[in-house]
Structure formats: C-alpha cells, structure tokens
Amino acid sequence: MPEISNNEIKKIRSLSSKKFRDGYGLFTVEGEKMVAEAVSSSFSVEKVYRRDEIGEDAMARISQLSSPSPVLAVVRKPEGIKLDTEAAIMAALSRGRGSCSGLYLALDTIRDPGNLGTILRIADWFGIDAVFASHDTVDLFNPKVVQSTMGAIFRVRFHYTDIPLLARTVLDAEGKVYGTFLDGKDIYSRDLDCGKESPAVIVIGNESEGISAEVAALVSDRLYIPPYPADDPGSESLNAAVATAVTVAEFRRRSRQIRK
C-alpha cells in the first residue's frame, strides 16, 4: 500500500486555512464526482489520494469532511483570480465574446460558504458569463464552498475585484447594473437587459446588510422581488442564494422571449 508521509498529511490538513491555501496556491477537492470534475477541467491537479491506497486512517486525517470520502485531490488555484484594474475588468467582461457584453453576477460581501457555493451552481445552470466578488466575500477555495459548488467551481469563471470599480466600468461601457432592493421596481414588470449588446451585471448583497451604500449608489436599475400575496409577505426577505436564483431565472426567461 502506498504510504503518505506525515509532512504530506500536515500540508494537506493546513489547506483548511486560507492563509496556507494562499501560501501554497493549493486547495482540496473531495468525492469521486468532484475529483473527476477537477481532473477533466482546466485546473491543474497536483495529486489524487485514494482511501484504498493510503488507508482509512490517513484519509480521515487529510479529509476536511465530517464523513471522509474515498478520494481526495489537491488542486492548484488558477491564475488571474484577482482583478485590480479597470483594464483587467474590461478584459474579463469581453472574454469569450469578442465584445463587451454578457450577463454577470457581482457579489457584494457574501459571507456564507454555502451561499457562495449555491450561487456558483446557479450561475453554472443559467449560463452566467462570469461571477465577480468583493475582496471580503468568503474565499472561493474554502472547503465548504468547494464542496457545495458540486463541480461548478471548475466551470464558472470567478474573479475577486472591487465591486464599485466593476460597476463604474460596466456603466462606462453603456451597460446596466442591477440590484434588488425593498424599494425597487417589480422585477416582473421591468424591462431587463440580458447583456446581448452591452454588459449587464446583477449585484447580490450581503446576507444581513444587503447591498452596500457605495455599490447601491452605482446601481442603475433597482429591482424588487414581490412576495405572494403582495400585501402579506410571510418572510422579511429572501436568502441571498434564493434571491439570486429568482432574479437570474427571470433574466433568462426574458432572453428566451427575445430569441423567439
């Protein structure tokens, strides 16, 4: 049976911390499906560990899960995750289309790992061109985020950037910046630009505070997701990931109508 050294175990265990993930430029992926997704993606897989090769005890020591999976991969973080200039943001908005267009998400201080992972799954399902996040959004490579993406992390372009700078860049390109607010206009009765000719960005606010004042000042179109019945909402607000799904679904529904 192949052995795994104590130094290897210590290094892999340290990847539960953002400090060491950043230092080594590595993160972990667990589970047969997730590891297969990593191997078939553009990400560089450093090494794959299997329980039947290194033993149950060793796998339990390197796993980040409460119930260790039978396989774990150490994966290198991709380059170009952080965008610090308008030119870099513009290039990301133009990538893959040849022009500055497309539908994007901008995450303004999303802190919950499960929410970030679910939002990436939503972006993957609805074909969002890229997801941008504020620098204080939870780390994409946090093990809880990685696992909750169910593989979307390997398919959806993701960048950390300054969200106000992103919003200004989109507006300068004659695009739209959308956000959901309690005093916004009913999303189902508003005209929605789906990013066909110029970029359209949907801002998703923090779980408890919503969209920050600085970003809110740059939102060109304030939207509202009405409850049903409208005069008797059962909850105060929607979870950030749920609000993302409802909003993006409506944008994509409109884009299908435009194509008909």
pLDDT digits (tens, 9 = 90+) for 133-181: 999 999 999 999 999 999 999 999 999 999 999 999 999 999 999 999 9
Strands 82-83 and 158-161: parallel
Strands 26-30 and 71-76: antiparallel
Q: What's the pLDDT tens digit per position in 207-216?
A: 999 999 999 9
pLDDT score, position 66? 87
Percent of the chain with pLDDT over 90: 84
3 state SS of 127: coil
DSSP state of 139: P
**Sequence-separated (6 or more) residues with CB below 8 Å from residue 169:** 86, 89, 90, 93
3 state SS of 258: helix
Q: What's the pLDDT tens digit per position in 5-19?
A: 999 999 999 999 999
3 state SS of 206: strand
Q: Which domains does the chain have, with CATH numbers?
A: 6-76 (3.30.1330.30), 82-259 (3.40.1280.10)
In the chain, what's the furthest Cα-to-Cα distance? 66
118: which 2 tokens? Answer: 């679910």
**Sequence-separated (6 or more) residues with CB below 8 Å from residue 158:** 81, 120, 130, 131, 132, 133, 140
Q: In the chain, which residue ranges form alpha helices assigned H by DSSP?
A: 6-14, 18-24, 32-40, 51-54, 56-62, 86-94, 113-125, 143-148, 163-172, 213-216, 240-259
Phi, psi of 106 (to 5 degrees): -125, 120
pTM of the model: 0.93
115: which 2 tokens? Answer: 């929410």
Asked if pLDDT for residue 62 goes beyond 60, the answer is yes
Euclidean distance between CA atoms 260 and 256, whole angstroms: 7
Q: What's the pLDDT tens digit per position in 175-202?
A: 999 999 999 999 999 999 888 888 999 9
Euclidean distance between CA atoms 195 and 72, whole angstroms: 38
Confidence at 101, pLDDT banded by 50, 70, 90: low
Euclidean distance between CA atoms 130 and 123, whole angstroms: 8
212: which 2 tokens? Answer: 């920050």
